[in-house]
Amino acid sequence: MTRNFTEENATEEVLSRYADCPNPRLKEVSEAIVRNLHALIREVEPTTEEWMQALEFLTAVGQKCDDKRQEFILLSDVFGVSTLVDAINNRKPADATESTVLGPFHMVESPAYPNGENVARHGGGAALVVTGTVTDTDGNVLPDAKVDIWQANEDGFYDVQKPGELPDLNLRGLFTTQQDGSFWFRSILPSFYPIPTDGPVGEMVLAAGRHPNRPAHIHFIGMAEGHEPITSHLFVEGDPYIESDVVFGVKESLVRDFDLIDDERRAKEYGVPNPFYHVHNVISLVRNT
C-alpha cells in the first residue's frame, strides 16, 4: 500500500492489490496482464493522445461486432494470437493431423451428403475432386468418421458473405467415411481471399503495410467416435500468400499439391469435366485417452 503512486512503483503497487485474490487462476492471469501491460507502456511510452487513440480503436472494434461479425476474434487472428492459443491447446503426437484456426465462417451446420456429392451449388470455378481417408495415428482406417468441410469459391467468397447472391450452403458439406475409412466429394478450386477490411482491424492491417490475404484453403473438421476431433485446413501449394497468411494459420504439414489431371476416363469416373484438379488428404486422429 502507498499514498505515493509513482512511475517507479506503479507495477508493484498494482500487483499488490491481487495478493488476496481468492481465485488462483484469476490472480495468475490478472498479475500477468498487469506485468505485461505495464511493460508494454514502459517500452512504448505512448503520449496521452496515442493512448486515447488506442482506446478509441478498441471501442471501434467492439462497436463493429454483432451477431454476424466478430471483430475481436479478427484482432486476435491478425496478431497471431488465435493461432498461438490453438497451438498451445492442441499439442499432438507427430503422426496426428495438425490443427489450425476455425475462422469465422463455420456459421451454419453443413448439409450431410453421400460421398461423391458436388458441394458447389453454382456454376463457375475449376472442377476439383477431393479424396481422403480418416485414420488413427497408427494408420488404422476409421469407418463412420465425419468430415465437415467448408470453403470459399473461385472469387474468394463464402456463401454467408454474399447472401442472396451465392446459394445458401454453397461449398459446405458433411461426409461420412466408408468401411475403408475413405471419403470423397466434388467441389471447385478455392481462391485466396482478404479478411474483411471494412472495419478497424482490416484498416489497421493495411495501415501497417501488411496485405490482408489468406492463402487458398479448404476448412475441415474430422470427427470419429473415441477420438479427439480436429479442426484444420488444407492449403493449396503454390498460392502466392502461402508464406504470409494474414492470420498465421499455415502449417507445412497442411499444404497439399492440388494436381491438374488431364484424363478423360478418370474425369468420367468422378463425374467432372476434364481437366480437373485433385487433392488427397489423410486425416489422422488421436485416440481419446
Given the rule CB under 6 A, which residues bind ligand BEZ? 74, 77, 101, 103-105, 195, 214, 247
List the grid coordinates of 141.
482406417
Residue 247 CB, nearest distance to ligand BEZ (Å)? 4
**Complex with ligand BEZ: residue 77 or 148, whichever CB lies closer:** 77
In this structure, are residues 270 and 276 in contact, taking their beta carbons and an 8 Å threshold? yes
In this structure, are residues 172 and 161 in contact, taking their beta carbons and an 8 Å threshold? no
Q: Which does 104 bind (CB under 5 to 8 A by kind): ligand BEZ, Fe ion, none?
A: ligand BEZ
In this structure, are residues 80 and 87 in contact, taking their beta carbons and an 8 Å threshold? no
> Which one among 78, 99, 103, 201 touches Fe ion, defined by CB under 5 A?
103
Residue 247 CB, nearest distance to Fe ion (Å)? 9
Q: Which does 239 bind (CB under 5 to 8 A by kind): Fe ion, ligand BEZ, none?
A: none
Residue 264 CB, nearest distance to ligand BEZ (Å)? 34
Q: Which residues pair with 232 in a beta bridge?
A: 220
Residue 129 CB, nearest distance to ligand BEZ (Å)? 22
Cβ neighbours for 278, distance < 8 A, ≥ 6 positions apart: 128, 129, 130, 131, 258, 259, 261
**Residue with the closest Cβ to Fe ion?**
103
Query: For 165-194, b where at least 16 C-beta lie within 10 A, e where not — what string?
Result: ebeebbbbbbbebeeebbbbbbbbbbbbbe
**Complex with ligand BEZ: residue 181 or 212, whichever CB lies closer:** 212
Residue type, position 49, single letter: E
List the grid coordinates of 181.
475409412
**Complex with ligand BEZ: residue 186 or 214, whichever CB lies closer:** 214
Residue 212 CB, nearest distance to Fe ion (Å)? 13
> Taking the CB of residue 43, how many other CB atoms lie within 10 A of it?
8
Task: List the helix and strand counts (H, then E) for the chain.
Answer: 7, 11
Q: Which does 142 bind (CB under 5 to 8 A by kind): Fe ion, ligand BEZ, none?
A: none
In this chain, which stretch among 97-105, 128-136, 171-179, 279-287 interacts with Fe ion, using CB under 5 A? 97-105
Residue 156 CB, nearest distance to Fe ion (Å)? 9
**Complex with ligand BEZ: residue 219 or 227, whichever CB lies closer:** 219
User: What residues line the site for Fe ion (CB under 5 A)?
Assistant: 103
